Structure 1
Amino acid sequence: MSGQPGIHPYRREIELTATTRLGLDFLFLVAAFFLARGVLLEELFPFGPASVITAAVRRPRLLWPVVLISMAGSWFSSTAPVYSRLFLFLFLGLIFSLYPALRRGSILTQATLAPATIILVRGLSLTLWQPSFYGWIQVIFEALLAWGLSLAFLYASITTRQEERLLGGGLFLVGVLLGLQEWRFFDLSLQGVISRYIILLVSLAGGPGAGAAAGAAVGFLPSLSQLVTPALAGLLAFAGLIAGSLKSLGKPGVISGFLLAHLLLANYFLGQESVLAALKEGVLVALALVATPSFLINNLQRFLAAPVSTPALKEDHGRQEALRKALKSLARSLKFTGFKESPEVTVRQVARATCRGCPAGKVCWELEGVQMVTLLQELLQKGSHGCLTTADIPEWLASRCSRCRELLAALISEASKMQVLPAENSLNTWLAATFETLAAMLVEGKAKAGVGEEEGRESPRWKLTVGTAATPRYKADVSGDACLVANLEPGRQLLVLGDGMGAGREAAETSSTAIELVRDLLAAGFTPEKTLRTVNMILLLRTPKESFTTCDLTLINCGNGTAEFYKLGACPTFIQRDGLVKTLSSHSLPVGILEDLQLEPMREELQEGDLLVMVSDGVLEAHRDINEKERWLAKALQRVGDARPQEIADRLLKQARALVDGKPRDDMTVMVARIERTGV
Structure 2
Amino acid sequence: MSGQPGVHPYRREVELTVATRLGLDFLFLVAAFCLARGALLEELFPFGPAAVITAAVRRSRLLWPVALISMAGSWFSSPAPAYSRLLLFLLLGLIFTLYPGLRRGSILTQATLAPVTIILVRGLSLTLWQPSFYGWVQVIFEALLAWGLSLAFLEATMTTRQEERLLGGGLFLAGVLLGLQGWQLFGLSLQGLISRYILLLASLAGGPGTGAAAGAAVGFLPSLSQVVTPALAGLLAFAGLIAGSLKSLGKPGVVSGFLLAHLLLASYFLGQDSALAALKEGGLVALALAATPSFLINYLQRFLAAPVTMPAVQEGHGRQERLKTALKSLARSLKFTGFKESPMVTVRQVARATCRGCPAGKVCWELEGEQMVTLLQELLQKGSHGSLTTADIPEWLSSRCGRCRELLAALTGEASKMQVRPPEDGLNNWLAATFEALAAMLVNGGPNTGAGVGAGEELPLWQVTVGTAAAPRYQAEVSGDTCLAGLLEPGRQLLVLGDGMGAGREAAETSATAIELVRDLLAAGFTPEMALRTINMILLLRSPKESFTTCDLALINCGTGTAEFYKLGACPTFIQRDGQVKTLSSHSLPAGILEDLQVEPLREELQDGDLLVMVSDGILEAHRDINEKERWLAKALQRVGDARPQEIADRLLKQARALVDGKPRDDMTVIVARMERNGV
Q: Distance in 1 between matches of 2:314 and 2:352?
A: 30
Alpha-carbon distance, 1:338 to partner: 2.3
Match of 1:656 in 2: 656
Match of 1:559 in 2: 559
Q: Distance in 2 between matches of 1:533 and 1:341?
A: 22
For the Cα contact (< 8 Å) 1:487–1:494, is it kept in 2? yes
Alpha-carbon distance, 1:321 to partner: 0.9
Match of 1:530 in 2: 530
Match of 1:176 in 2: none
Match of 2:422 in 1: 422
1:446 partner letter = G
Q: Distance in 1 between matches of 2:563 and 2:542?
A: 31
Matches within 5 A, 1:608-647: 608-647=608-647
Q: Distance in 2 between matches of 1:399 and 1:677?
A: 57
Provide closer, same or farther for how the CA distance between residues 425 and 346 of structure 1 changes in structure 2, counting only shifts above 3 A.
closer
Alpha-carbon distance, 1:313 to partner: 8.0
The one-character-per-residue Cα deviations of 1:159-215 (angstroms, maximum 9, x if unpaired) are xxxxxxxxxxxxxxxxxxxxxxxxxxxxxxxxxxxxxxxxxxxxxxxxxxxxx99xx
Q: Distance in 1 between matches of 2:414 and 2:449?
A: 44
Match of 2:581 in 1: 581
Match of 2:325 in 1: 325
Are residue 508 (structure 1) and residue 508 (structure 2) matched? yes
> Secondary structure, in 3 states, of the residue corresponding to 1:414?
helix
> Secondary structure, in 3 states, of the residue corresponding to 1:533?
helix
Q: Distance in 2 between matches of 1:313 and 1:352?
A: 22
Match of 1:110 in 2: none
Are residue 340 (structure 1) and residue 374 (structure 2) matched? no
Are residue 475 (structure 1) and residue 471 (structure 2) matched? no
Are residue 497 (structure 1) and residue 497 (structure 2) matched? yes
Match of 1:675 in 2: 675
Structure 1 stretches lacking a partner, 5+ long: 1-211, 214-310
1:660 partner letter = V
Structure 2 stretches lacking a partner, 5+ long: 1-104, 107-311
2:609 partner letter = G
2:550 partner letter = T
Output the aligned Cα RMSD.
Answer: 2.6
The one-character-per-residue Cα deviations of 1:297-319 (angstroms, maximum 9, x if unpaired) are xxxxxxxxxxxxxx99857x520
1:500 partner letter = G
1:425 partner letter = D
The one-character-per-residue Cα deviations of 1:547-594 (angstroms, maximum 9, x if unpaired) are 110010101111100000010100000001111110000100001100
Alpha-carbon distance, 1:459 to partner: 0.9
Provide closer, same or farther for how the CA distance between residues 394 and 461 of structure 1 changes in structure 2, counting only shifts above 3 A.
farther
Alpha-carbon distance, 1:511 to partner: 0.6
Q: Distance in 1 between matches of 2:520 and 2:355?
A: 30
Matches within 5 A, 1:89-488: 314=315, 317-423=317-423, 425-443=425-443, 445-447=444-446, 457-488=457-488
Q: Distance in 1 between matches of 2:489 and 2:353?
A: 39
> Secondary structure, in 3 states, of the residue corresponding to 1:405?
helix
1:365 partner letter = W
1:624 partner letter = R
Provide closer, same or farther for how the CA distance between residues 431 and 368 of structure 1 changes in structure 2, counting only shifts above 3 A.
same
Normalising by structure 2, report the TM-score.
0.52
1:320 partner letter = Q
For the Cα contact (< 8 Å) 1:496–1:554, is it kept in 2? yes
The one-character-per-residue Cα deviations of 1:597-641 (angstroms, maximum 9, x if unpaired) are 122211000111111100001111111110110011111111111
Provide closer, same or farther for how the CA distance between residues 377 and 651 of structure 1 changes in structure 2, counting only shifts above 3 A.
farther
For the Cα contact (< 8 Å) 2:500–2:508, is it kept in 1? yes
Q: Distance in 1 between matches of 2:645 and 2:401?
A: 48
> Secondary structure, in 3 states, of the residue corresponding to 1:521?
helix
For the Cα contact (< 8 Å) 1:609–1:675, is it kept in 2? yes
Q: Distance in 1 between matches of 2:406 and 2:562?
A: 54
Alpha-carbon distance, 1:425 to partner: 1.5
Q: Distance in 2 between matches of 1:425 and 1:663?
A: 41
> Secondary structure, in 3 states, of the residue corresponding to 1:552?
strand
Provide closer, same or farther for how the CA distance between residues 326 and 342 of structure 1 changes in structure 2, counting only shifts above 3 A.
closer
Provide closer, same or farther for how the CA distance between residues 381 and 474 of structure 1 changes in structure 2, counting only shifts above 3 A.
farther
For the Cα contact (< 8 Å) 2:460–2:559, is it kept in 1? yes
> Secondary structure, in 3 states, of the residue corresponding to 1:330?
helix
Q: Distance in 2 between matches of 1:402 and 1:633?
A: 59
For the Cα contact (< 8 Å) 1:552–1:567, is it kept in 2? yes
Tell me the percent identity.
84
For the Cα contact (< 8 Å) 1:312–1:488, is it kept in 2? no
2:610 partner letter = D
For the Cα contact (< 8 Å) 1:564–1:603, is it kept in 2? yes
Alpha-carbon distance, 1:371 to partner: 4.0
> Secondary structure, in 3 states, of the residue corresponding to 2:565?
strand
1:530 partner letter = M
Provide closer, same or farther for how the CA distance between residues 450 and 497 of structure 1 changes in structure 2, counting only shifts above 3 A.
closer
> Secondary structure, in 3 states, of the residue corresponding to 1:425?
helix
1:565 partner letter = F
1:676 partner letter = E
Query: How many residues are aligned here?
Result: 369
For the Cα contact (< 8 Å) 2:332–2:343, is it kept in 1? no
> Secondary structure, in 3 states, of the residue corresponding to 1:594?
coil
Match of 1:220 in 2: none
Normalising by structure 1, report the TM-score.
0.52
For the Cα contact (< 8 Å) 1:338–1:381, is it kept in 2? no
1:476 partner letter = A
Q: Distance in 1 between matches of 2:495 and 2:466?
A: 9
Alpha-carbon distance, 1:524 to partner: 1.3
Q: Distance in 2 between matches of 1:425 and 1:337?
A: 8
For the Cα contact (< 8 Å) 1:313–1:487, is it kept in 2? no
> Secondary structure, in 3 states, of the residue corresponding to 2:483?
strand
